[in-house]
Structures are given as structure tokens and as C-alpha cells.
A and B are shown apart, each in its own frame.
Chain A
Amino acid sequence: QSVLTQPPSASGTPGQRVTISCSGSSSNIGRNSVNWYQQVPGTAPKLLIYSDYNRPSGVPDRFSGSKSGTSASLAISGLQSEDEADYYCAAWDDSLNGVFGGGTRLTVL
């Protein structure tokens, strides 16, 4: 069972906006920054959002992150077929280790 809680699945049609939530606690999200990863099955995760809302170079601005208290969210606007993947949130925990969410499988209908 993962320390951070994500919905197992999400879906949307092309062009729609979808959000994926990530819930934690005061020892991780409440005190440390959140990062988001996109993983296409069979490949390594790719950094999508870092330090709550920052995008690495090359990540489209359709992807955005936010955080409030002990929860964080990833929003994808203008959904495209290539966005179909697994999405994971991650944060440092005060128990001195990294923690991940269980992942959300995004389906583009």
C-alpha cells in the first residue's frame, strides 16, 4: 500500500481537462514539495512537474501542478491521445525516505 494516495484510474476525451489528485500527510506533502511523473508502460518514469508546479524544459504547458495543505493535483488540459499513460506523485517524507503514490492510469477515450 502506497504512502501517497491516488485514484487508480482517470479518463477523458481529446481536448478535455482532467485532474489527478494525490493525498498525503503532514510528514510528506504537508512539509515537502511534490513531483509528478509520467510513465508509458515498458519505459522509465519521466519527470513532468517538480517542486509542486514547475515544468522541466520540454514539458508542454498543458501540464500543471498545484498543492494545498497535504494534497496535490496534476491537471492536464487539451487532452491528447499521447497523454495516455500512468501518472505518479512523489514527495520526500520526514521519516527520511522518498514516497510515491500508487499511480493513476489515464485513459484517453
Chain B
Amino acid sequence: QVHLQESGPGLVKPSQTLSLTCTVSGASIDSGSFYWTWIRQFPGKGLEWIAYVHNNVPGFTFYNPSLKSRLNISMDTSKNQISLRLTSVSAADTAVYFCAREKLGGTTFEYWGQGTLVTVSS
């Protein structure tokens, strides 16, 4: 069974950079053909797709156009992890951040992590 676990700082100050990690167990992140995705859920419950990286096509990444200038997604196959960096955070970035595995290049998320809450506050 594939298991995903997000980790992050919990609290970030405005204007700082948020770094999140998704550690995968039960499967190698570079096996098969999948899209490792980050999604966030705001306190009011709305979901927002953030970005994905394809596990076997170098450089194949897509970012939410509204966030693209602040985002970077990457994979570390030696640690079986997917990372997300979001720069210049503000209170609007306060959310629960999920990582998920997608199989069709769209929004078919078969496996999800439990999510990690990130609060942006001074």
C-alpha cells in the first residue's frame, strides 16, 4: 500500500519561504508513470491544485498559473520524497497542504497524505 506523509514547519512568517516535504513509502516515486501533486485546502474548506511533477519525464512540471512565480516542485529519488517551495508567503497561503499521487495527468488522485497545516503569521 502506498503511503504519503507530508511534513512542514507549521508556522511561517509573512514574506518568508515555505518548504514542504512529502515522504512516500510502499512504492518508489520513480517507478511507473505518475504525477506527484501538491494540493492545498483553505480554512473555509476550498481546495486548490498547486503543482505536479511527472516521475519519469525530466523537467515535466506544471504549476498553478496564479502561483507559478513563487513555486518550485522537485523530486529526490534517493530519499523517495517530493518537495515544494513557496516563496513570499502571506496570510492567504494559510492552509492544509496535501501531497497526492495522480495517475492520468489530471485530477485523479488515488493516494493522499494526511495533510500538514501551515499557518502564515508574524
| Interface residue ranges, A against B (CB under 8 Å) | 2, 32-33, 35, 37, 43-47, 50-51, 56, 86, 88, 90-92, 95-100, 102-103
Query: Number of contacting residues on B, CB 8 A?
Result: 23
B61 to chain A, nearest CB (A): 11
Query: Per-residue CB proximity of B23-43 to A under 8 Å, as 1/0?
Result: 000000000000001010000
Supply 10 A–B pairs (Cβ within 8 Å), ascending by A.
A2-B46, A37-B109, A44-B114, A44-B115, A56-B110, A92-B105, A95-B65, A97-B63, A97-B65, A103-B45
- CB closest chain-B residue, reference A91: B107
B residues in contact with A37, CB < 8 Å? 109
Given known A-B contacts A47-B110, A51-B104, A100 and B65 have beta carbons under 8 A apart: no
A35→B109 CA distance, assembly (Å): 9
B47's partner among A32, A50, A88, A97 (CB-CB below 8 A) is A88
B70 to chain A, nearest CB (A): 14
Note all chain A residues with C-beta closer than 8 A to B45: 86, 102-103
Q: Is B108 engaged at the interface, CB distance under 8 Å to the other chain? A: yes
Partner pick for A100 among B47, B63, B113, CB 8 A cutoff: B47
Residue B80 is within 8 A (CB to CB) of chain A in the complex: no
The answer to whether B115 touches A51, judged by C-beta atoms less than 8 angstroms apart, is no
Give the docked Cα–Cα distance between A106 and B30 (Å). Answer: 38
- A47 & B114 in contact (Cβ 8 Å cutoff): no
Instruction: Tell me the smallest distance from the CB of B43 to a CB of chain A, in Å.
Output: 12
The 8 closest A-B pairs by CB, nearest first: A98-B49, A92-B106, A44-B112, A90-B107, A100-B47, A98-B107, A50-B108, A97-B64
Contact at B109–A45, with CB atoms within 8 Å? yes
- Residues from chain B with a CB closer than 8 A to the CB of A99 are 49, 107
Q: Are A100 and B104 in contact (CB under 8 A)?
A: no
B48 at the interface (CB under 8 A from A): yes
With A92-B107, A98-B106, A100-B46 given, name 8 new contacts (CB 8 A): A33-B108, A43-B114, A51-B104, A86-B45, A91-B106, A96-B65, A103-B45, A103-B47
